[in-house]
Protein backbone atom coordinates (compact mmCIF):
# COMPACT_ATOMS: atom_id res chain seq x y z
CA UNK A 1 0.00 0.00 0.00
CA UNK A 2 1.19 3.48 -0.81
CA UNK A 3 1.67 6.02 1.92
CA UNK A 4 -1.06 8.68 2.09
CA UNK A 5 -0.09 12.34 1.72
CA UNK A 6 0.08 14.20 5.01
CA UNK A 7 -1.87 17.44 5.35
CA UNK A 8 -3.33 17.82 8.81
CA UNK A 9 -6.88 19.15 8.91
CA UNK A 10 -9.34 20.05 11.63
CA UNK A 11 -12.28 20.34 9.22
CA UNK A 12 -15.58 18.55 9.69
CA UNK A 13 -16.07 15.27 7.89
CA UNK A 14 -18.13 16.70 5.06
CA UNK A 15 -15.48 19.30 4.30
CA UNK A 16 -12.64 16.80 4.61
CA UNK A 17 -14.17 14.23 2.28
CA UNK A 18 -15.81 16.86 0.05
CA UNK A 19 -18.92 14.75 -0.55
CA UNK A 20 -20.99 15.79 -3.56
CA UNK A 21 -24.28 16.27 -1.73
CA UNK A 22 -23.11 17.77 1.58
CA UNK A 23 -25.21 15.20 3.40
CA UNK A 24 -24.04 13.39 6.53
CA UNK A 25 -25.46 10.12 5.23
CA UNK A 26 -22.66 10.08 2.65
CA UNK A 27 -20.07 9.49 5.39
CA UNK A 28 -19.50 5.73 5.59
CA UNK A 29 -18.45 3.94 8.78
CA UNK A 30 -16.85 0.68 9.84
CA UNK A 31 -17.57 -0.10 13.50
CA UNK A 32 -15.86 -2.67 15.69
CA UNK A 33 -12.55 -2.59 13.80
CA UNK A 34 -10.93 -4.28 16.79
CA UNK A 35 -8.61 -6.90 15.27
CA UNK A 36 -5.72 -6.90 12.86
CA UNK A 37 -7.59 -8.97 10.30
CA UNK A 38 -10.63 -6.70 10.42
CA UNK A 39 -8.46 -3.63 10.02
CA UNK A 40 -6.64 -4.98 6.97
CA UNK A 41 -9.93 -5.99 5.37
CA UNK A 42 -11.59 -2.62 5.97
CA UNK A 43 -8.60 -0.64 4.74
CA UNK A 44 -8.99 -2.35 1.33
CA UNK A 45 -12.52 -0.94 1.06
CA UNK A 46 -12.09 2.48 -0.54
CA UNK A 47 -15.73 3.38 0.22
CA UNK A 48 -15.23 3.32 4.00
CA UNK A 49 -14.30 6.73 5.40
CA UNK A 50 -14.31 6.37 9.20
CA UNK A 51 -12.93 3.45 11.23
CA UNK A 52 -14.08 2.89 14.79
CA UNK A 53 -12.34 0.94 17.53
CA UNK A 54 -12.61 0.40 21.29
CA UNK A 55 -9.71 1.41 23.50
CA UNK A 56 -8.68 -0.25 26.76
CA UNK A 57 -5.29 -0.94 28.35
CA UNK A 58 -3.15 -3.73 29.74
CA UNK A 59 -0.77 -3.53 32.68
CA UNK A 60 2.72 -5.01 32.51
CA UNK A 61 3.62 -7.91 34.77
CA UNK A 62 5.65 -5.63 37.02
CA UNK A 63 2.64 -3.27 37.34
CA UNK A 64 4.76 -0.32 36.21
CA UNK A 65 3.58 0.19 32.62
CA UNK A 66 0.14 0.51 31.11
CA UNK A 67 -0.32 0.20 27.36
CA UNK A 68 -3.44 1.28 25.43
CA UNK A 69 -4.76 -1.47 23.19
CA UNK A 70 -7.49 -2.14 20.68
CA UNK A 71 -9.89 -4.46 22.47
CA UNK A 72 -12.98 -6.42 21.53
CA UNK A 73 -15.93 -4.42 22.86
CA UNK A 74 -17.60 -7.56 24.18
CA UNK A 75 -14.81 -8.48 26.58
CA UNK A 76 -14.47 -7.27 30.13
CA UNK A 77 -12.50 -4.04 30.71
CA UNK A 78 -8.82 -4.79 31.10
CA UNK A 79 -8.89 -8.16 29.35
CA UNK A 80 -6.27 -8.37 26.60
CA UNK A 81 -8.20 -10.11 23.84
CA UNK A 82 -6.96 -7.86 21.04
CA UNK A 83 -3.86 -8.27 18.94
CA UNK A 84 -2.92 -4.61 18.32
CA UNK A 85 -1.87 -1.68 20.41
CA UNK A 86 -3.63 1.62 19.88
CA UNK A 87 -0.46 3.19 18.49
CA UNK A 88 0.00 0.39 15.96
CA UNK A 89 -3.65 0.60 14.86
CA UNK A 90 -3.55 4.36 14.35
CA UNK A 91 -0.15 4.31 12.68
CA UNK A 92 -1.22 1.80 10.03
CA UNK A 93 -4.36 3.77 9.18
CA UNK A 94 -2.53 7.08 9.04
CA UNK A 95 0.37 5.74 7.01
CA UNK A 96 -1.58 3.88 4.35
CA UNK A 97 -4.89 5.72 4.00
CA UNK A 98 -6.82 8.95 4.39
CA UNK A 99 -9.48 7.30 6.51
CA UNK A 100 -10.58 8.97 9.71
CA UNK A 101 -10.47 7.33 13.14
CA UNK A 102 -12.92 7.21 16.02
CA UNK A 103 -11.60 5.97 19.37
CA UNK A 104 -14.15 4.78 21.93
CA UNK A 105 -13.22 5.11 25.60
CA UNK A 106 -15.21 3.37 28.32
CA UNK A 107 -13.46 4.65 31.47
CA UNK A 108 -11.29 7.46 32.82
CA UNK A 109 -8.17 5.32 33.26
CA UNK A 110 -8.11 4.29 29.60
CA UNK A 111 -8.24 7.98 28.68
CA UNK A 112 -5.42 8.83 31.06
CA UNK A 113 -3.22 6.02 29.69
CA UNK A 114 -3.89 6.71 25.99
CA UNK A 115 -3.60 10.47 25.68
CA UNK A 116 0.15 10.90 26.34
CA UNK A 117 0.76 8.57 23.39
CA UNK A 118 -1.80 10.40 21.26
CA UNK A 119 0.03 13.62 21.98
CA UNK A 120 3.29 12.19 20.61
CA UNK A 121 1.48 11.10 17.43
CA UNK A 122 -0.53 14.22 16.66
CA UNK A 123 1.92 15.60 14.09
CA UNK A 124 1.62 12.40 12.02
CA UNK A 125 -2.18 12.18 12.06
CA UNK A 126 -3.59 13.87 8.97
CA UNK A 127 -7.20 12.60 8.79
CA UNK A 128 -10.07 13.44 11.17
CA UNK A 129 -9.71 12.05 14.69
CA UNK A 130 -12.78 11.56 16.88
CA UNK A 131 -12.65 10.80 20.60
CA UNK A 132 -15.81 9.18 21.95
CA UNK A 133 -17.07 8.76 25.51
CA UNK A 134 -20.48 8.61 27.18
CA UNK A 135 -20.32 11.49 29.66
CA UNK A 136 -23.98 12.17 30.61
CA UNK A 137 -26.52 9.82 32.17
CA UNK A 138 -29.18 8.92 29.62
CA UNK A 139 -32.25 6.78 29.01
CA UNK A 140 -32.60 3.86 31.45
CA UNK A 141 -28.96 4.04 32.59
CA UNK A 142 -27.80 6.45 35.32
CA UNK A 143 -24.24 5.08 35.38
CA UNK A 144 -21.53 7.17 33.69
CA UNK A 145 -18.02 5.67 33.57
CA UNK A 146 -16.19 8.58 31.91
CA UNK A 147 -16.35 11.89 33.76
CA UNK A 148 -16.77 14.89 31.48
CA UNK A 149 -14.34 17.08 33.42
CA UNK A 150 -11.55 14.52 33.06
CA UNK A 151 -12.10 14.28 29.31
CA UNK A 152 -12.26 18.03 28.80
CA UNK A 153 -9.10 18.60 30.85
CA UNK A 154 -7.20 16.09 28.72
CA UNK A 155 -8.57 17.15 25.35
CA UNK A 156 -7.32 20.75 25.69
CA UNK A 157 -4.04 19.64 24.11
CA UNK A 158 -5.89 18.49 20.96
CA UNK A 159 -7.86 21.48 19.62
CA UNK A 160 -8.43 19.88 16.19
CA UNK A 161 -9.91 16.66 17.54
CA UNK A 162 -13.68 16.19 17.27
CA UNK A 163 -15.38 15.09 20.47
CA UNK A 164 -18.03 12.41 20.12
CA UNK A 165 -20.07 12.78 23.30
CA UNK A 166 -22.86 10.43 24.23
CA UNK A 167 -25.32 9.49 26.92
CA UNK A 168 -25.15 6.23 28.86
CA UNK A 169 -28.13 4.22 27.61
CA UNK A 170 -29.92 0.91 28.02
CA UNK A 171 -32.76 -0.23 25.81
CA UNK A 172 -35.44 -2.81 26.39
CA UNK A 173 -38.73 -3.09 24.48
CA UNK A 174 -40.45 -3.13 27.89
CA UNK A 175 -38.35 -0.27 29.30
CA UNK A 176 -39.81 2.85 30.88
CA UNK A 177 -37.96 5.51 28.86
CA UNK A 178 -38.01 5.77 25.06
CA UNK A 179 -36.47 9.20 24.43
CA UNK A 180 -33.78 11.60 25.55
CA UNK A 181 -35.47 13.88 28.06
CA UNK A 182 -35.08 17.64 28.04
CA UNK A 183 -33.13 17.38 31.29
CA UNK A 184 -30.66 14.89 29.79
CA UNK A 185 -30.10 17.04 26.69
CA UNK A 186 -29.75 20.22 28.76
CA UNK A 187 -27.17 18.44 30.93
CA UNK A 188 -25.22 17.69 27.76
CA UNK A 189 -25.42 21.35 26.73
CA UNK A 190 -23.94 22.29 30.10
CA UNK A 191 -21.03 19.90 29.53
CA UNK A 192 -20.39 21.47 26.13
CA UNK A 193 -20.66 25.10 27.28
CA UNK A 194 -16.87 25.58 27.69
CA UNK A 195 -15.92 23.53 24.63
CA UNK A 196 -14.69 25.31 21.50
CA UNK A 197 -14.06 22.20 19.43
CA UNK A 198 -16.35 20.36 17.05
CA UNK A 199 -18.73 18.05 18.90
CA UNK A 200 -20.86 15.24 17.49
CA UNK A 201 -23.52 13.86 19.83
CA UNK A 202 -23.83 10.08 19.73
CA UNK A 203 -27.58 9.44 19.56
CA UNK A 204 -28.95 5.93 19.84
CA UNK A 205 -31.41 5.33 17.01
CA UNK A 206 -34.12 3.74 19.19
CA UNK A 207 -34.42 6.99 21.16
CA UNK A 208 -33.89 9.48 18.32
CA UNK A 209 -37.34 9.89 16.79
CA UNK A 210 -39.04 10.76 20.09
CA UNK A 211 -36.36 13.34 20.86
CA UNK A 212 -36.50 15.51 17.73
CA UNK A 213 -37.36 18.79 19.53
CA UNK A 214 -34.57 18.32 22.07
CA UNK A 215 -31.97 17.30 19.49
CA UNK A 216 -32.83 20.09 17.06
CA UNK A 217 -32.46 22.54 19.95
CA UNK A 218 -28.99 21.41 21.00
CA UNK A 219 -27.83 21.28 17.36
CA UNK A 220 -28.92 24.88 16.86
CA UNK A 221 -26.79 26.25 19.71
CA UNK A 222 -23.68 26.44 17.51
CA UNK A 223 -22.61 25.38 14.02
CA UNK A 224 -19.87 23.24 15.60
CA UNK A 225 -22.42 20.63 16.74
CA UNK A 226 -23.54 17.56 14.77
CA UNK A 227 -25.25 14.26 15.58
CA UNK A 228 -24.12 10.70 14.87
CA UNK A 229 -26.96 8.17 14.92
CA UNK A 230 -25.89 4.68 16.01
CA UNK A 231 -27.54 1.39 16.92
CA UNK A 232 -26.72 -1.61 19.06
CA UNK A 233 -26.95 -4.89 17.17
CA UNK A 234 -29.72 -6.06 19.52
CA UNK A 235 -31.87 -2.94 19.14
CA UNK A 236 -35.24 -3.38 17.47
CA UNK A 237 -35.55 -0.43 15.12
CA UNK A 238 -38.75 0.89 13.57
CA UNK A 239 -37.54 1.91 10.13
CA UNK A 240 -40.44 4.32 9.47
CA UNK A 241 -39.47 6.17 12.63
CA UNK A 242 -35.93 6.63 11.32
CA UNK A 243 -37.42 7.95 8.07
CA UNK A 244 -39.43 10.48 10.08
CA UNK A 245 -36.31 11.50 12.01
CA UNK A 246 -34.32 12.10 8.82
CA UNK A 247 -37.11 14.15 7.26
CA UNK A 248 -37.12 16.48 10.25
CA UNK A 249 -33.37 16.99 10.65
CA UNK A 250 -30.82 19.05 8.73
CA UNK A 251 -28.99 16.51 6.53
CA UNK A 252 -25.71 18.41 6.85
CA UNK A 253 -25.81 18.01 10.63
CA UNK A 254 -26.51 14.28 11.01
CA UNK A 255 -24.25 11.29 10.37
CA UNK A 256 -25.58 7.73 10.28
CA UNK A 257 -23.34 5.01 11.71
CA UNK A 258 -25.86 2.27 10.94
CA UNK A 259 -26.00 -1.01 8.99
CA UNK A 260 -25.66 -0.49 5.25
CA UNK A 261 -29.20 -1.67 4.41
CA UNK A 262 -30.67 0.96 6.74
CA UNK A 263 -28.49 3.71 5.29
CA UNK A 264 -29.56 2.84 1.75
CA UNK A 265 -33.20 3.09 2.79
CA UNK A 266 -32.62 6.47 4.42
CA UNK A 267 -31.01 7.82 1.25
CA UNK A 268 -34.32 7.22 -0.53
CA UNK A 269 -36.12 9.18 2.17
CA UNK A 270 -34.01 12.21 1.39
CA UNK A 271 -34.94 12.06 -2.30
CA UNK A 272 -38.65 11.63 -1.50
CA UNK A 273 -38.59 14.55 0.90
CA UNK A 274 -37.02 16.83 -1.71
CA UNK A 275 -39.55 15.76 -4.32
CA UNK A 276 -42.63 16.12 -2.09
CA UNK A 277 -41.89 19.18 0.01
CA UNK A 278 -38.86 20.85 -1.50
CA UNK A 279 -37.15 23.06 1.06
CA UNK A 280 -40.18 23.74 3.14
CA UNK A 281 -39.83 23.31 6.88
CA UNK A 282 -40.85 24.75 10.17
CA UNK A 283 -40.03 28.45 10.44
CA UNK A 284 -38.74 29.49 13.84
CA UNK A 285 -41.18 31.81 15.53
CA UNK A 286 -38.65 33.68 17.56
CA UNK A 287 -35.60 35.75 16.70
CA UNK A 288 -32.71 35.17 19.10
CA UNK A 289 -30.82 38.16 17.71
CA UNK A 290 -33.17 40.62 19.46
CA UNK A 291 -32.35 39.25 22.91
CA UNK A 292 -29.33 39.79 25.14
CA UNK A 293 -28.53 37.15 27.80
CA UNK A 294 -27.61 38.68 31.16
CA UNK A 295 -25.88 36.11 33.38
CA UNK A 296 -25.38 37.61 36.82
CA UNK A 297 -24.05 34.62 38.77
CA UNK A 298 -21.51 31.87 38.13
CA UNK A 299 -24.30 29.29 37.86
CA UNK A 300 -26.38 31.38 35.44
CA UNK A 301 -26.97 29.85 32.01
CA UNK A 302 -29.01 30.76 28.93
CA UNK A 303 -28.94 28.45 25.90
CA UNK A 304 -30.48 30.18 22.89
CA UNK A 305 -31.43 27.76 20.13
CA UNK A 306 -33.18 28.40 16.83
CA UNK A 307 -36.61 27.49 18.21
CA UNK A 308 -36.29 27.41 22.01
CA UNK A 309 -34.31 29.12 24.73
CA UNK A 310 -33.45 27.37 27.99
CA UNK A 311 -32.95 29.46 31.13
CA UNK A 312 -31.17 27.71 33.98
CA UNK A 313 -29.77 28.79 37.31
CA UNK A 314 -30.22 31.86 39.53
CA UNK A 315 -29.46 35.24 38.01
CA UNK A 316 -30.24 34.13 34.44
CA UNK A 317 -32.02 36.82 32.40
CA UNK A 318 -32.96 37.63 28.82
CA UNK A 319 -33.40 41.33 28.02
CA UNK A 320 -34.54 42.77 24.70
CA UNK A 321 -31.83 44.74 22.92
CA UNK A 322 -34.23 47.59 22.15
CA UNK A 323 -37.25 49.07 23.99
CA UNK A 324 -40.79 48.36 22.81
CA UNK A 325 -42.94 51.42 23.55
CA UNK A 326 -46.54 50.84 22.37
CA UNK A 327 -47.16 54.13 20.57
CA UNK A 328 -43.92 53.68 18.63
CA UNK A 329 -44.98 50.29 17.28
CA UNK A 330 -46.64 49.99 13.88
CA UNK A 331 -49.84 48.70 15.50
CA UNK A 332 -49.47 51.04 18.51
CA UNK A 333 -49.51 47.87 20.62
CA UNK A 334 -46.78 45.70 22.12
CA UNK A 335 -47.60 41.98 22.24
CA UNK A 336 -45.30 39.42 23.89
CA UNK A 337 -46.26 35.76 23.49
CA UNK A 338 -44.74 32.32 23.89
CA UNK A 339 -44.90 28.91 25.50
CA UNK A 340 -43.06 27.81 28.64
CA UNK A 341 -42.28 24.30 29.81
CA UNK A 342 -41.41 23.47 33.38
CA UNK A 343 -39.30 20.37 34.05
CA UNK A 344 -40.58 18.32 36.93
CA UNK A 345 -38.07 18.44 39.81
CA UNK A 346 -36.03 15.35 40.67
CA UNK A 347 -35.87 16.14 44.39
CA UNK A 348 -38.56 14.68 46.65
CA UNK A 349 -38.90 18.02 48.43
CA UNK A 350 -39.32 20.44 45.57
CA UNK A 351 -39.12 24.23 45.57
CA UNK A 352 -41.56 25.90 43.22
CA UNK A 353 -40.12 27.39 40.04
CA UNK A 354 -41.42 30.74 38.82
CA UNK A 355 -41.21 32.17 35.31
CA UNK A 356 -41.24 35.98 35.34
CA UNK A 357 -41.80 38.24 32.33
CA UNK A 358 -41.46 42.05 32.57
CA UNK A 359 -42.74 44.68 30.14
CA UNK A 360 -42.07 48.42 30.48
CA UNK A 361 -38.91 47.12 32.11
CA UNK A 362 -35.69 48.78 33.16
CA UNK A 363 -33.70 45.73 32.18
CA UNK A 364 -31.16 44.39 34.65
CA UNK A 365 -27.55 44.92 35.77
CA UNK A 366 -28.04 47.79 36.42
CA UNK A 367 -30.33 47.91 38.26
CA UNK A 368 -29.81 44.87 40.52
CA UNK A 369 -32.37 42.09 40.25
CA UNK A 370 -34.34 43.22 43.28
CA UNK A 371 -34.77 46.71 41.75
CA UNK A 372 -35.95 45.71 38.28
CA UNK A 373 -38.86 47.90 37.25
CA UNK A 374 -41.84 46.99 35.12
CA UNK A 375 -45.15 45.23 34.88
CA UNK A 376 -44.50 41.62 35.84
CA UNK A 377 -46.28 38.45 34.77
CA UNK A 378 -45.48 35.49 37.04
CA UNK A 379 -46.32 31.89 36.14
CA UNK A 380 -45.49 29.30 38.79
CA UNK A 381 -45.05 25.61 38.03
CA UNK A 382 -48.12 24.77 40.13
CA UNK A 383 -50.34 26.98 37.93
CA UNK A 384 -50.40 30.06 40.19
CA UNK A 385 -50.51 33.29 38.14
CA UNK A 386 -50.12 36.97 38.93
CA UNK A 387 -49.84 40.30 37.11
CA UNK A 388 -48.30 43.09 39.17
CA UNK A 389 -46.33 46.35 39.09
CA UNK A 390 -42.77 46.18 40.39
CA UNK A 391 -40.63 49.10 41.63
CA UNK A 392 -42.45 51.72 39.57
CA UNK A 393 -42.86 55.35 40.67
CA UNK A 394 -46.35 56.33 41.93
CA UNK A 395 -46.97 52.73 42.96
CA UNK A 396 -49.87 53.79 45.16
CA UNK A 397 -51.85 54.89 42.11
CA UNK A 398 -52.21 51.35 40.80
CA UNK A 399 -55.13 49.03 41.15
CA UNK A 400 -54.87 45.77 43.05
CA UNK A 401 -52.58 43.04 41.76
CA UNK A 402 -54.52 40.49 39.73
CA UNK A 403 -54.00 36.77 40.23
CA UNK A 404 -55.51 33.41 39.29
CA UNK A 405 -54.88 29.68 39.40
CA UNK A 406 -54.79 27.23 36.50
CA UNK A 407 -54.56 23.42 36.74
CA UNK A 408 -50.98 22.25 37.20
CA UNK A 409 -49.35 21.11 33.97
CA UNK A 410 -45.87 21.14 32.43
CA UNK A 411 -46.62 23.69 29.70
CA UNK A 412 -48.43 27.03 29.51
CA UNK A 413 -48.83 29.60 26.75
CA UNK A 414 -49.05 33.33 27.43
CA UNK A 415 -49.99 36.44 25.47
CA UNK A 416 -49.25 39.78 27.15
CA UNK A 417 -50.68 42.92 25.51
CA UNK A 418 -49.73 46.56 26.22
CA UNK A 419 -51.75 49.18 24.32
CA UNK A 420 -50.16 52.08 26.15
CA UNK A 421 -51.78 55.13 27.75
CA UNK A 422 -55.44 54.76 28.75
CA UNK A 423 -55.55 50.94 28.48
CA UNK A 424 -54.97 48.24 31.11
CA UNK A 425 -52.25 45.68 30.57
CA UNK A 426 -53.95 42.47 29.47
CA UNK A 427 -52.67 38.88 29.59
CA UNK A 428 -54.14 35.52 28.63
CA UNK A 429 -52.52 32.37 30.03
CA UNK A 430 -53.56 28.92 28.83
CA UNK A 431 -52.65 25.33 29.68
CA UNK A 432 -50.93 23.65 26.74
CA UNK A 433 -49.50 20.39 25.48
CA UNK A 434 -45.72 20.28 25.36
CA UNK A 435 -45.51 18.25 22.14
CA UNK A 436 -47.41 19.03 18.95
CA UNK A 437 -50.39 21.29 18.52
CA UNK A 438 -52.44 22.46 21.49
CA UNK A 439 -55.78 20.72 21.95
CA UNK A 440 -59.21 22.28 22.37
CA UNK A 441 -59.71 21.19 25.97
CA UNK A 442 -57.06 23.57 27.35
CA UNK A 443 -58.04 25.91 30.19
CA UNK A 444 -57.33 29.66 30.10
CA UNK A 445 -57.64 32.74 32.29
CA UNK A 446 -57.35 36.46 31.58
CA UNK A 447 -55.61 38.96 33.84
CA UNK A 448 -55.91 42.77 33.68
CA UNK A 449 -53.92 45.44 35.49
CA UNK A 450 -54.39 49.18 35.13
CA UNK A 451 -51.00 50.89 35.41
CA UNK A 452 -50.34 54.64 35.06
CA UNK A 453 -48.47 55.28 31.83
CA UNK A 454 -45.26 57.29 32.23
CA UNK A 455 -43.07 57.76 29.15
CA UNK A 456 -40.53 59.73 31.18
CA UNK A 457 -40.14 57.47 34.22
CA UNK A 458 -40.82 54.06 32.69
CA UNK A 459 -38.46 52.22 30.39
CA UNK A 460 -39.85 49.85 27.80
CA UNK A 461 -37.46 46.93 27.59
CA UNK A 462 -38.77 43.39 27.84
CA UNK A 463 -36.98 41.06 30.22
CA UNK A 464 -37.56 37.60 31.61
CA UNK A 465 -36.03 35.34 34.23
CA UNK A 466 -36.76 32.37 36.49
CA UNK A 467 -36.62 32.14 40.26
CA UNK A 468 -37.30 29.76 43.10
CA UNK A 469 -36.43 26.18 42.20
CA UNK A 470 -33.26 24.77 40.70
CA UNK A 471 -34.84 23.38 37.55
CA UNK A 472 -34.44 24.92 34.08
CA UNK A 473 -37.36 26.36 32.11
CA UNK A 474 -37.80 25.95 28.35
CA UNK A 475 -39.27 28.92 26.47
CA UNK A 476 -40.56 28.33 22.96
CA UNK A 477 -42.03 30.56 20.25
CA UNK A 478 -41.08 33.72 22.18
CA UNK A 479 -42.14 36.63 19.97
CA UNK A 480 -42.49 40.41 20.31
CA UNK A 481 -44.65 42.36 17.85
Residue 273 pLDDT level (bands cut at 50, 70, 90): very low
What number of other Cβ atoms are within 10 A of residue 251's Cβ?
18
Question: In whole numbers, what is the pLDDT of the chain averaged over residues?
Answer: 89
At residue 1, the pLDDT reads: 42
* Pairing relationship of beta strands 84-85 and 66-70 according to DSSP bridges: antiparallel
Output the DSSP codes for 164-214.
EEEEE----TT-S--S--HHHHHHHHHHHTT--S-EEEEEEHHHHGGGHHH
The average pLDDT across 435-441 equals 70
**311, containing H or E segment:** strand 308-312
CA–CA separation, 385 vs 352, rounded Å?
A: 13
Q: What is the pLDDT of residues 448-468, one digit of tens each?
A: 999 889 888 889 999 999 998
pLDDT reported for residue 359: 96
- Residue 274 has a CB neighbour count (10 Å cut-off) of 11
* pLDDT (tens digit per residue) in 387-420: 999 988 776 666 667 999 999 999 999 999 999 9
What's this model's pTM, rounded to 2 decimal places?
A: 0.91
pLDDT band at 154 (very low <50, low <70, confident <90, very high): very high
pLDDT by residue (tens digit) across 313-369? Answer: 999 999 999 999 998 888 889 999 999 999 987 766 678 999 999 999 999 988 888
| Residue 168 in this model has a pLDDT that exceeds 60 | yes
pLDDT score at 247: 93
Is the pLDDT reported for residue 202 higher than 80?
yes
Q: Residue 81: pLDDT above 70?
A: no
pLDDT at 170: 95
Confidence band, pLDDT 50/70/90 cuts, at residue 269: confident
Q: Are 135 and 195 in contact (CB under 8 A)?
A: no
Amino acid sequence: MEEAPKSHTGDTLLNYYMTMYMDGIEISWASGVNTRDTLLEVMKDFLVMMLEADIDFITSSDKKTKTPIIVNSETKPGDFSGDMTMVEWMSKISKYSNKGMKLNFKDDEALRVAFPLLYTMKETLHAPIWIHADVVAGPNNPKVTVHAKNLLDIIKEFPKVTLSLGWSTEWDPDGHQFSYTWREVINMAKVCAPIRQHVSFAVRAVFAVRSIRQLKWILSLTNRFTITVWANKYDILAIPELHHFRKNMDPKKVYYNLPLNMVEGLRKVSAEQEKDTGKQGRIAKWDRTIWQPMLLQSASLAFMGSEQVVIDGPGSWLVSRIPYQPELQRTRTTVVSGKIQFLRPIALVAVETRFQLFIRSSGVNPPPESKVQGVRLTITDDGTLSLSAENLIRAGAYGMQTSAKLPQTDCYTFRLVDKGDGFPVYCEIRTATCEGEDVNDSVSVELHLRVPYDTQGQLFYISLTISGGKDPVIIEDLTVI
